[in-house]
Amino acid sequence: MASTTCIVLGIPVQEGAGRLGCDMGPSAFRTAGLVTELRNLGYAVEDRGNIAPAPQRELRHPNGAIKALAETVAWTETITDAAYQASGDGMPIFIGGDHSLSAGSMTGLARRAAKKGREFFVLWLDSHPDFHTLETTTSGNLHGVPMAYATGMRGFEGFFPKVANPLKPQNVCMMGIRSVDPAERAALSTAGVTVHDMRAIDENGVAPLLDAFLKRVAAADGILHVSLDVDFLDPGIAPGVGTSVPGGATFREAHLIMEMLHDSGLVRSIDLVELNPFLDERGRTALLMVDLVSSLMGRRVLDRPTQSYRHTPKNH
């Protein structure tokens, strides 16, 4: 993938989360050396800065629990267009921002895949499936709806932009799931999404579960998007998130997934979401997320330095 240009897009959205702080995520990823690490791996990098939401319109939904509907819809409109454009220029890396940004990234990328006549697949690394609709959410936090929206579930009509190219549920693999609301569980039971919860990972390990999905993507000549939520990771190694759930992926499980993804050569875009620097410990979570991206982009275990070379570009 080294011939690929990485397109970094900062998305400082925090309205979808239940607490403030995710808007600082893009700055934290840059401070943690994301762009430098990509360049050290031999990639051309175009950092397009932070995008801004579209103008808001007045929106009211019968579900009174919903928060920041107009703001989230405005963000989704802008992110969808930005994802479509960036995916035509290189490999988009969306640095957020809460997970509501994936409503836009996935729909924009699905549109690009449809234009190319390719199947679009998503590997969803998260403790939550984010499979609520506007009717079923009880928290009202709209970072809990992007997967339901992108797969074309009913209940978003008249509020969110129409999904022109819905993501096929059978093209979604969720890993690390360990916090599911009853309405999400019911929807997932019939949707056709592959769900590997933490028990499945404990019993089988990540390698065979991921390998089976990657073989399906390869067989379809598909385009693979990876959506990585900080809370996929165990909070003991990644404390900088507002929705921490105990029992997440370990350091080595997460790196193994990234290494396998690199070996597959299938990944064409990445979401990095839910980093809340306000809750982090001296940048610990941001640095780990950048390390994981480095593994996905080709840094091998044998290349891993004893002391980090962050912020020190190699001489080429």
Quick check: is 202 catalytic? no
Quick check: is 99 catalytic? yes
Of 235, 223, 225, 246, nearest in space to 274 by CA: 235
Edge-to-edge strands, sheet with 223-229: 44-50, 5-11, 91-96, 267-273, 223-229, 120-125, 172-177, 194-197
Quick check: is 255 catalytic? no
**Selected catalytic residue, list 15, 77, 119, 128:** 128
**Selected catalytic residue, list 23, 77, 98, 229:** 229
**Selected catalytic residue, list 126, 234, 253, 259:** 126
Quick check: is 311 catalytic? no
**Selected catalytic residue, list 15, 37, 71, 130:** 130
Distance in angstroms (rounded) separating the CA atoms of residues 157 and 172: 22
Quick check: is 271 catalytic? no
Quick check: is 229 catalytic? yes
**Selected catalytic residue, list 15, 23, 99, 259:** 99
**Selected catalytic residue, list 37, 77, 132, 143:** 143
Quick check: is 291 catalytic? no
Distance in angstroms (rounded) separating the CA atoms of residues 59 and 68: 9
Quick check: is 15 catalytic? no
**Selected catalytic residue, list 77, 98, 119, 231:** 231
Residue 213 tokens, joined: 């999905």
Q: Which residues form the catalytic set?
A: 99, 126, 128, 130, 143, 229, 231, 274
